Amino acid sequence: MSANDETSVKPVDPAAVPKRRLRSGALMPAVGLGTFGSDHVGPGEVAAAVRGAAAVGYRHFDCASVYGNEDAVGGALAEILRGGIRREDIWVTSKVWNDKHGEQDLIASCRKSLADLRLDYLDLYLVHWPFPNFHPPGCDVSSRSPNAQPYIHANYMKTWRAMEALVDMRLVRHIGTSNMTVPKLELVLRDARIKPAVNEMELHPHFQQPELFKFVVDNGVQPVGYCPLGSPGRPERDRTSEDTSPMEDPVIVAIAERHGVHPAAVCIKWAVQRGQSPIPFSINPRNYAANLRAVVSDPLTDDEMRAIAAIDRNCRLIKGQVFLWKDKQSWQDLWDVGGKITPV
């Protein structure tokens, strides 16, 4: 490692990292480390990043059973805790996969994530997608679950009741949603006994989702932003020729040059200053350290924030085609673009 590398992985004081206060009053670190290896980064490398990220000051880790690495990540978390970081000082999220939406399956899946992650509770547990449609890891864009279904609110609420039971059982502290839309969330907020603490959603300068963002904030739901850098390493199934790259946007590049940082740092600063919680993935110590350092120094100006607000391209990268339930559908059908839940 060169002297320059050593400077760039200098730790950040976790106390200096902004926190988000959730509706329960709990505080969640505003930046987390993503752990999805995008079908090409193996569990060992992700676990090493978790260990390294904790050493440079990360205290928030975004996990999921479908990432296929919770056992390795759990080994890293156990080491982190053995090393003297207290359990209450880390925030661990996991998610139930689409084929485990039934009550018993969901509870068993949560227990499996807890066992793999070597934890006795999760800070946050999410319903990963609002569709019970399975796709195997590494599948291509044409893959469909044979029994694929649309969003059926009554079924989602059965899943949500099991999520609420996990809170009652003290296996999880908070529950939340992911990949939701305004009309779906309106129903869940109406019917939930325990309302979602967060909604995890794609958020980056080219996909700002202003309407959904405002809706969740107005309803006391913390937005967590995935693919905050535009996911340059995302799986092949999630790439189309229309996709754009926020880190290459001339506005982001110019702001980065002005601040003397990588465009990634600008995306992360913007995300945290706007109010979402980005969860950038990286296995590169220089990159994950820089992503965290971005939020404790040299904030963007109001003019820069306005300039970034103006480059939204409504460019969704994770389109979710593999979750479609009928032939001849468009991926837009998953996202209720007309403001109403797409009918069966």
* Nearer residue to ligand NAP within complex by CB, 215 or 226: 226
Q: Which residues contact 146 (CB under 8 A, 6 or more apart)?
A: none
Indicate the Cα dihedral angle 158, 162, 168, 169, nearest 10°. Answer: 160
Eight-state DSSP code of residue 323: G
Contact between 122 and 172 under an 8 Å Cβ cutoff? The reply is yes
Binding mask 122-151 for ligand NAP (x = CB under 6 A): ------x-----------------------
* Nearer residue to ligand NAP within complex by CB, 311 or 327: 311
Exposure of 117 in the CB half-sphere (CA atoms within 13 A): 29
Kindly indicate which of the ranges 4-12, 115-123, 152-160, 220-228 contains the residues binding ligand NAP, using the contact rule CB under 6 A.
220-228
Tokens 């995300």 appear where?
A: 271
* 181 binds ligand NAP, rule: CB under 6 A: no
Q: Is 206 left (phi over 0), alpha (psi -120 to 50) or beta?
A: alpha
* 318 binds ligand NAP, rule: CB under 6 A: yes
Contact between 171 and 110 under an 8 Å Cβ cutoff? The reply is yes
Q: Rounded to the nearest whole angstrom, what is the least distance from the CB of residue 62 to ligand NAP in the complex?
A: 4
* 228 binds ligand NAP, rule: CB under 6 A: yes
How far is 156 from 186, CA to CA, in rounded Å?
13
Contact between 106 and 175 under an 8 Å Cβ cutoff? The reply is no
* 259 binds ligand NAP, rule: CB under 6 A: no
Kindly indicate which of the ranges 84-92, 163-171, 276-284, 325-333 contains the residues binding ligand NAP, using the contact rule CB under 6 A.
276-284
Q: Dihedrals φ, ψ of 183, to 5°?
A: -65, -35
* Nearer residue to ligand NAP within complex by CB, 129 or 325: 129
| Annotation says 67 is catalytic | yes
Site for ligand NAP in 182-211 (CB under 6 A): 200
Kindly indicate which of the ranges 109-117, 133-141, 230-238, 308-316 contains the residues binding ligand NAP, using the contact rule CB under 6 A.
230-238
* Nearer residue to ligand NAP within complex by CB, 45 or 103: 45
Q: Which structure tokens are listed for 24?
A: 């329960």
Q: Which structure tokens are listed for 142?
A: 């044409």
Q: Of the residues 67, 125, 156, 226, which is catalytic? A: 67
Catalytic residues: 67
Q: Which residues bind ligand NAP (CB under 6 A)?
A: 34-36, 62, 128, 178-179, 200, 226-234, 262, 264, 279-284, 287, 290-291, 318
